[in-house]
Structure 1
Amino acid sequence: MSRSTTYVLVHGAWHDGRCWHRVAPLLTAHGHRVLTPSLTGHGDRAGLLGPEVGLTTHVDDVVGLIDEQNLEDVVLVGHSYAGMVVSGVADRVPERVARLVFLDAMVPVHGESAVDVMPFSQALIDAAAAGPHPWRIPPLPELPAPRGLFGVTDPEDVAWLRTTLGDESVRCFQEPVRLDNPAQESIPRVHIHCVGQEPAGVTRRPVPAPRPGGVPARVHELRTGHDAMLTEPAALAALLLDLG
């Protein structure tokens, strides 16, 4: 992109805005503006986590940021669960969004929840229900290499990542997304798939076909784990810089 672009990078479940700390400087070095908010219940807003926090809360977070900062022509990037969030944001303020980027992300249709998109999530809800705090879901555990902690295997990176992770409200996975604004359908979309380390039993949906008159989505692959912003920041930044 030759002109200055505004990127809003939205983290996924259990993470916070710090997860973009390797990608954001690579974008700002090219003269772009980058915002990496922590959603309600995460990072510096961890104290706000409660059973009432859900998908709508997180959509409100990002819409509020866009409104407060008077952002226009935003490249809106959602990682993992945040595919649900950025979809909802695009439905609310489509005139502010220049492009949607789904980074190894959930891609819903109107009325779907995260559990609908990724049925595996129900097992996490069920496990939480059997514990002392049935409304909150702890981060996924670290797995043997090559899966690691959200695809991160370097010991120092794993140790750092652990310090940033926090619980997620069950409501985030259960609340349906609203996608009934026809204007959001015309927003160009990019899908970045992290490949080579997919967990067993987790399948990726096919990229949705464009609506009549719509623009086909662009699809890219990164051979890396789920948290590509930590494991392949330069490659990810290069893809984001090449969207124009």
Structure 2
Amino acid sequence: MATIVLAHGAWSAAWAWKKMRPLLAAAGHEFFSPTYTGLGERSHLANHEVDLTTHINDVAAVLDCEDLKDVTLIGHSYGGMVATGVTDKARRRVARVIYLDAFVPRDGESLFDLVGPQAAETMRGKAMGEGAGWRIPPSTMPPDTAPQDVTWATPRRRSQPIRTFEQKLRLASREPPPPRAYIYAKRSGPGDVFRQFADRAKGEAGWKCYEIDASHNPHITCPQDLMALLGKIMAET
């Protein structure tokens, strides 16, 4: 049994893990899935000042207020930025971190740094054209997403405050990181930015690396397979 806390992806929210909740509960895990400020059911709080620190504080506050210990922290996609910051801020509460097809920043890096200048410029342009300069419209869902899942997810996705991608992460803790695992989604599309983090993890101490035969959102497209893999990882780390 584990206490699991989610740092979800961009444009997303707790709702996106709806298929995973009964699976996690059936396995006896306690699952917390806080939604970031400005997204999902908290989209009414969106404003141009919301940044990466805001989202780190959103998740860290759950660990603190719920007095959670020995936490398995899952960071999906952009959530890897958040999970890294939460681990730094609340190191003694985190037992392990699982990066699910996620960004793994080093100190001083932003998401825009990690996706590269061309992708960053494209998103800035969309924010200027469609989001009053500070809201980045949702990206396209993976092509193998079932039509009914696209219909379900699309109206729930929200624009991402641009400062969450612009702000550079600043790490302060001098404690070593907890055990970390990386799950690489093998059905990557054009412009895959996550292979670099899987490859880097393979060459660094303190990591275990895994793959899943899925596209970027296995919590939506193949929840049973993801559940099985998460169980394996938690047994091995």
Name the TM-score, length of structure 1 as normaliser. Answer: 0.89
Q: Report the counterpart of residue 144 of structure 1 in structure 2.
A: none
Q: Give the counterpart letter for 2:150 in structure 1.
A: V
Q: Report the counterpart of residue 123 of structure 2 in structure 1.
A: 124
Any conservation in 1 of the 2:103–2:194 contact (CA below 8 Å)? no
Q: Report the counterpart of residue 197 of structure 1 in structure 2.
A: 188
Any conservation in 2 of the 1:151–1:226 contact (CA below 8 Å)? no
> For 1:151 and 1:37, how far apart are their aligned partners in 2?
27
TM-superposed deviation, 1:186:
3.0
Any conservation in 2 of the 1:113–1:175 contact (CA below 8 Å)? yes
TM-superposed deviation, 1:22:
1.0
Indicate the percent of aligned positions where both proteins have the same amino acid: 37
Any conservation in 1 of the 2:184–2:195 contact (CA below 8 Å)? no
> For 1:78 and 1:151, how far apart are their aligned partners in 2?
22
1:82 and 2:79 are equivalent in the alignment? yes
Q: Give the counterpart letter for 2:172 in structure 1.
A: D
**Could you say what secondary structure the match of 2:200 adopts?**
coil
Matching residue within 153, 166, 181 for 1:161? 153
Q: Report the counterpart of residue 15 of structure 2 in structure 1.
A: 18
> For 1:49 and 1:98, how far apart are their aligned partners in 2?
31
Map residues 174-185 of structure 1 onto 2, 5 A cutoff. Answer: 174-183=166-175, 185=176
Q: Give the count of matched residue pairs.
A: 229
Q: Given the superposition, is the C-alpha separation of residues 223 and 110 from structure 1 closer, same or farther in structure 2, using an over 3 Å criterion?
A: same
Q: Give the counterpart letter for 2:157 in structure 1.
A: L
Note the residue ranges of structure 2 that are not aligned, 5 or more in a row: none
Map residues 115-154 of structure 1 onto 2, 5 A cutoff. Answer: 115-119=112-116, 120-131=119-130, 133-141=132-140, 149-154=141-146
CA RMSD of aligned residues (A): 1.6
| CA shift digits 1:27-63 (9 cap, x unpaired) | 1112110011111111111100111001000000001
Q: Report the counterpart of residue 238 of structure 1 in structure 2.
A: 228
Which is further off, 190-199 or 9-18? 190-199
Any conservation in 1 of the 2:184–2:194 contact (CA below 8 Å)? no
TM-superposed deviation, 1:200:
3.4
TM-superposed deviation, 1:139:
0.3
Any conservation in 1 of the 2:40–2:156 contact (CA below 8 Å)? yes
Q: Given the superposition, is the C-alpha separation of residues 151 and 17 from structure 1 closer, same or farther in structure 2, using an over 3 Å criterion?
A: farther
Note the residue ranges of structure 1 that are not aligned, 5 or more in a row: 142-148
Q: Given the superposition, is the C-alpha separation of residues 90 and 126 from structure 1 closer, same or farther in structure 2, using an over 3 Å criterion?
A: same
> For 1:194 and 1:103, how far apart are their aligned partners in 2?
8
Map residues 47-62 of structure 1 onto 2, 5 A cutoff. Answer: 47-62=44-59
Any conservation in 2 of the 1:135–1:170 contact (CA below 8 Å)? yes
> For 1:55 and 1:101, how far apart are their aligned partners in 2?
19
Q: Give the counterpart letter for 1:32 in structure 2.
A: H
TM-superposed deviation, 1:122:
3.3
Name the TM-score, length of structure 2 as normaliser. Answer: 0.91
**Could you say what secondary structure the match of 1:53 adopts?**
coil
Which structure carries more helix by proportion? Answer: 2
